[in-house]
Structures are given as structure tokens and as C-alpha cells.
Amino acid sequence: MARKNPQAKPVAAKSRPPMRKPVRHTPSWVAPIATLAGLAVIIVAFLAYRYFTTPPPVPPANEATTAQVIATITSLPASEFDQVGQGSAKKVLKKVTDQPLKDASGKPLVFYFGAEFCPYCAAERWPLIIALSRFGTFSGLATSTSSSTDVFANTRTFTFRSATYTSDVIAFQSVEASDRDGNGLQSPSAAQQALITKYDQGDTIPFLDIGNGYVLLQPSYMPDAIRGMSWSQIATALGNPESPQAQAIIGSANQLTAAICTLTSNQPATVCTAPIQAIEGKL
């Protein structure tokens, strides 16, 4: 009979992992609800961010301020136009060759197409008003701002929606397609739409046709040049030919003036001066 070895140690039992209670499966409806809840949190956070970071709309300037600003920018001395020259304005006018664009009376026609919400249109109206005011007179201009929810929010500007223009040498027509909230405002006529379709194939605004001699499909300076400035501050800055605002806006107005002078046989001579004719050769 075999004897047990007194030195032998009992063999330890093989270790086993601790027992865990079974976990019930997650109900199939929990994941979609969790996903929706997460999306809801993101949406609420985004809306809260937009609410606290989007600038509120800016009301138009009062009647007295509007009149003062318009009087200032439409009576700039000729010496300042000469001093600024092309300034910092980009060369964005594109020369085209077509039948001259004229109104019913036979005057060369300048046609503008834009929208009140558009910050780039807001920027371009300043030099356009200044340039056209050298050849004629506006009435009914009103202050406005670009959209408060677009880039360059609340850029101070004007609107042509109720404006009229008189001149002995040129004509001006405008269409503001939408208000600053994007609601439909004015529609181009069939003849105006034909110009837009022909020259503005990228469907961009602002669009400007200067007598079928030149077209503009982009702003001549960026709206950040007047970002955060009031109408009065911009008008005051234009009185200093060295200011960034004058370099951009008056420089652009000079280019527009030169393009118009090519249509009027450089008349009137008090506007289509030698410095302006020099710019004509660079367009």
C-alpha cells in the first residue's frame, strides 16, 4: 500500500474569475434617443452662441444725419480726388465691347444690380454714389446696413430702393433685389435681366454695367475698410485723403468716374480732368 509523502503539499485548485451578474441588453430605443438628445444639446448651444455673438440690427441714421453725410460725400473737393488717384482700390472693372447702353433719351446708362443684405454691395455703394454725384444729383437716398447675420455684419451704407437720379450727361438705373433680411424687394426689367444674364454669369452681386463699356462683378475694396464705423465716421474719414477709407472709397470712385468719362467724351471737363483721363488709360 502506497504511503503518502508527508512533505507533499496539496495541489491548489485552479483559480476562477469572479462571478458577475449578467447585464441586461440596452433597449433598442435608448440609442436613438441619446443621439437626438445630443443633437438637441448641440443645436441649443449653437443657437445660444449665435444669439450672443450675432450683432443686433442697426437702425438707419436719422434724417438730419443722413442729409449731412450725403452732403459731405457728394461735395468733396476736386483736389482730393486728384490727390488720392487710384488709391488702394482694386482694378476690378472689366472692359467689354458691345452696343452702347443708353436710356430712352440717348444718354449713356449706368445700371446697378444688388441687394440690401449684401455687405459687398454695401461697400460699393459709397464710391458709386460719390462718382455719380460728380455728373448729376441724387434724391431719395436713405441710409441702410447690410445683414446682421452675414459676414461684415451691419456694414453702413445706403439703399437705392427709393432713390432717383438726374444728370445732363448720363442716366442711372438700379435694382435692389432683396431687403437686408433677404426678403424680395425689386425685380429687374426684361432688358435689365438680359444684361445680368449676359455679363453676370456667375450670378454675383454687386453687378454694375457702365454703358456696356465696362462691367463690375466684385467690389473694388473689402468691407472691412469701414467695419464698425458709423455713417458719420466714414464721411469724416473721406475728408482725409491719407485715411484707409479715402484711399479705398475715393480711389474706387475715381476708377468709376474714369469709366463714365469714356462714355461722355470726357465731359464735363471739370470732372474728366487730366488725372482722371490718366486713370482711363489704365482701366
Residues 39-49: tens digit of each pLDDT: 555 555 444 44
Nearest to 118 by CA among 65, 170, 182: 182
Q: End-to-end alpha-carbon separation of the chain, Å?
A: 121
Task: Give domain status of residue 114, yes or no.
Answer: yes
- pLDDT score at 149: 95
Task: Give domain status of residue 4, yes or no.
Answer: no
- pLDDT score at 121: 98
For residue 64, list its beta bridge partners: none
Residues 138-197: tens digit of each pLDDT: 999 999 999 999 999 999 999 999 999 999 999 999 999 999 999 999 999 999 999 999
d(CA 224, CA 137): 28
Neighbour tally for 217: CB within 10 Å: 17
Residues 108-122: tens digit of each pLDDT: 999 999 999 999 999
Task: Give domain status of residue 210, yes or no.
Answer: yes
Task: Give domain status of residue 98, yes or no.
Answer: yes
| Average pLDDT in the chain | 87
| pTM of the complete model | 0.81
**Domain extent at residue 276:** 63-280
Least confident of 21-30, 61-70, 132-141: 21-30
Task: Give domain status of residue 50, yes or no.
Answer: no
Task: Give domain status of residue 273, yes or no.
Answer: yes
d(CA 120, CA 190): 25
Number of domains in the chain: 1
Task: Give domain status of residue 38, yes or no.
Answer: no
**Strand order through the sheet with 109-114:** 93-95, 214-216, 207-210, 109-114, 171-176
- pLDDT score at 35: 59
- pLDDT score at 25: 40
Task: Give domain status of residue 109, yes or no.
Answer: yes
